[in-house]
Amino acid sequence: MRVLVTGAAGFIGSHLVRALLETGHTVRGIDNLRTGLFWRVESLLNEFEWMQADICDPDAATRAVAGMDAVLHQAAIPSVSRSLEDPVASSHANVQGTITLLQAARLSGVRRLVYAGSSSAYGDTPTLPKVETMHPCPMSPYAVGKLAAEQYCKVFGQLGFVETVCFRYFNVFGPMQDPNSAYAAVIPKFATALLKGEAITLQGNGTQSRDFTYVANVVRANLLALQADGTRVNGELFNIGCGQRYDLNYLIRELGTILGVEPRVERLPRRQGDVPHSLADINKAKELLGYEPVVHLPDGLRHTVAWCREQLPSA
Ligand SMILES: NC(=O)c1ccc[n+]([C@@H]2O[C@H](COP(=O)([O-])OP(=O)(O)OC[C@H]3O[C@@H](n4cnc5c(N)ncnc54)[C@H](O)[C@@H]3O)[C@@H](O)[C@H]2O)c1
């Protein structure tokens, strides 16, 4: 297939570009490098078509989807904190970007668009695990935007404009996730702090839990979504996680064990807009997509620590 990856220089997008190339697809990637890092795809420039452009620009979106069979749409400003600081920019990239891309895909005759939605759409509802049929309850501008874009995707699918498959990813982690950003996800941030002999900065008391999902599982889900029967998956929403949750205190202990160090922890107040617990029900993805997690947290942590260590040769 000819597949466009949006957010191709992003953490997940760059893994998707690699996986698509390895499985024989023809790949184009678009990214405006707003949060993306060019080095993630630089070594692949001879193997795929790279476009540095903004999906909110209708002309760029049209050029990006031209001739493509499918789109794996990862581009977004993917952060709760960033959306609290600048909700307008967050909405522009995440909502306006998605609708611009959907319309371009529709007009170009793209067969299918797979959307990277977020478990943050479930918000603070106490019931666990989260099932796709639950009423959403977003708690941050980021979550509102991801949910709004998801709804646009669903409607475009239902109207027959372009087939859509919507995912809600649960806390994705793995190699190539940026540990240095002020908005870094906890796993690369904690691992890098320990490798440098620094204290871990923990927001909250560490009892908040997540369905941490190694990136290979998300890649697997996207590849399955490209092949799935449209009559079964068009306009549908799927949780993509592992179906297991771990709290941050466990994570810190486990990272300490892998690295053979005793973690030092500095505690800060709980982050605004943060949900206390999250856990995916993945039965729908199993049933309709044939999805199964391929790497669970302990192995995923080891792969991620190994990668973080390579980035710090002195560690
Ligand atoms: N990482 C997670 O745990 C997680 C969880 C749930 C959902 N998601 C979703 O998965 C997707 C990928 O997340 P990620 O962790 O790889 O983040 P990332 O920041 O590494 O990747 C997003 C990419 O999109 C690009 N981008 C942003 N706005 C753009 C625009 N207007 N035009 C073109 N490119 C643009 C960025 O430069 C970046 O490279 C996002 O849609 C995010 O909301 C991620």
Q: Does residue 257 fall inside a structural domain?
A: yes
* Same domain assignment for residues 77 and 199: no
The reply to whether 67 and 83 lie within a common domain is: yes
Question: Could you tell me which of 146, 271, 273, 254 has the C-alpha nearest to residue 191?
Answer: 254
**What spacing in Å lies between the alpha carbon of 35 and ligand 1's midpoint?**
7
- The span from the CA of 302 to the CA of 118, in Å, is 25
**Four-CA torsion 106, 132, 120, 189, nearest 10 degrees:** -100
* Catalytic residue annotation: 142
260 Cα: distance to centroid of ligand 1 (angstroms)? 33
Q: What is the pLDDT of residue 102?
A: 98
Amino acid, single-letter form, for residue 308: C
Q: Is residue 179 part of a domain?
A: no
Nearby residues of 19 by Cβ (< 8 Å), 6 or more positions away:
219, 222, 223
**Which atom from ligand 1 is nearest to the alpha carbon of 9?**
39
Does residue 254 sit in the same domain as residue 149? Answer: no
In a domain, 253, yes or no: yes
Whether 180 is in a domain gets the answer no
Q: Is the CB of 78 under 6 A from ligand 1?
A: yes
* Residue 78 located in a structural domain: yes
Q: Looking at the structure, do residues 47 and 152 belong to the same domain, yes or no?
A: yes
Sequence-distant (6+) residues with CB within 8 A of 85 are: none
Is the same domain home to 307 and 220? Answer: no
Report yes or no on 251 lying in a domain: yes
Q: Are residues 166 and 254 in the same domain?
A: no
139 & 256 share domain:
no
Structural domain range at position 271: 186-208+244-278+297-311
Are 122 and 278 within 8 A, CB to CB? yes
How far, in whole angstroms, is CA 77 from its chain's centroid? 11
Is residue 67 located within the same domain as residue 193? no
> Which two three-digit tokens encode residue 10?
């992003």
Q: What is the pLDDT of residue 293?
A: 98
Residues 235 and 251 in one domain: no
Give 12 Cα–ligand 1 centroid separation in angstroms.
Answer: 7
Ordered per-residue pLDDT tens for the chain, 315 residues: 999 999 999 999 999 999 999 999 999 999 999 999 999 999 999 999 999 999 999 999 999 999 999 999 999 999 888 999 999 999 999 999 999 999 999 999 999 999 999 999 999 888 999 999 999 999 999 999 999 999 999 999 999 999 999 999 999 999 999 988 877 789 999 999 999 999 999 999 999 999 999 999 999 999 999 999 999 999 999 999 999 999 999 999 999 999 999 999 999 998 776 778 999 999 999 999 999 999 999 999 999 999 999 988 765
CA separation for the pair 270, 100 (Å, rounded)? 35
